[in-house]
Amino acid sequence: MRFLFLGDIVGRSGRNGVMKHLPEIRQRLDLDFVVANGENAAGGFGLTEDIANDLMQRGVDVLTGGNHTWDQRSLLNVIDDEPRIMRPINFPAGTPGKGADLFMARGGQRVGIVNVMGRVFMDPLDDPFRMVDEALSDMALGQQADFVLVDIHAEATSEKMAMGHFADGRASLVVGTHSHVPTADLQILEGGTAYQTDAGMCGDYDSVIGMDKEEPLRRFTSKIGAGRFEPAGGDATVCGVFVETDDASGSAVTASPLRVGGRLREIWPDQAPANQGG
């Protein structure tokens, strides 16, 4: 199976970048399924139904969330009826939406997705490790699911790395979101799980993690805010992780970065050396 995960889509720049490049990416990489983190897609804060529909019409199959999931309150009225929009599984019981589910890829493959938030330097939600453990038991790789993704939306690199090893052998890909900077540690772990600490963002990198530079610089240098953060509006770099799996086991065979457009050096998975399992 050929799978692509896209990092946090930030504002109009990120949306436009994904909608511009994803059709070509899907065709060139012959993708079976695409997941993107969409929690910053609406003005940098949250997600709306209209934006979600636009992204899904251009080739995103499922959108995951994070700590900004509810910044656009209208999503509360939509998420129960739209399983392709997900929120972290460790939100309190009774929260609208789902944090884990099974989906069908274009070739009939079953794709299990788990969206979870970390707790280090983040909101004090339920135990992410226990919740992921329970979710993975319901979508056993190679049995109930042909591919399993864990999107861990977290601040601490240590917590993300721990989740990668915790799910090793039970997921095809564990990838971090939230930091908006692509890390250089993409690898395949001993149990066959592809792992990267952060996929990076789909947004304008001439910015402070996707936000226009002026207000963050003012706050860092003077400790006085003069307005709200606004997403930077330049050309986006679309950042993600491409994984190809063994059809029988669901384990990752190759894992490669994707970077297209904008300021960062372009990398296509079919050109970059693939990371092989150890």
Q: Give Cβ neighbours of residue 32 (< 8 Å, ≥ 6 apart).
A: 1, 2, 3, 105, 106, 107, 109
Q: Give Cβ neighbours of residue 174 (< 8 Å, ≥ 6 apart).
A: 149, 150, 152, 160, 163, 164, 167, 168, 193, 194, 195
Give the pairing type, strands 147-153 and 275-276: unpaired
State how far the alpha carbon of 245 is from the alpha carbons of 9, 166, 172, 251, in Å. Answer: 25, 19, 7, 5
DSSP state of 107: T
For residue 146, which of 243, 252, 247, 241 has the smallest C-alpha distance?
247
Asked if 153 is an active-site residue, the reply is: no
Token representation of residue 38: 């969409």
For residue 178, which of 192, 159, 164, 193 has the smallest C-alpha distance?
159
What residues form DSSP beta bridges with 149? 113, 173
**CA-CA-CA-CA dihedral for 115, 109, 107, 239, to nearest 10:** 30
- For 237, the 3-state DSSP assignment is strand
For residue 247, which of 106, 145, 138 has the smallest C-alpha distance?
145
DSSP state of 125: -
Indicate which residue of 21, 68, 178, 180 is catalytic.
Answer: 68
* Enzyme catalytic residues: 68
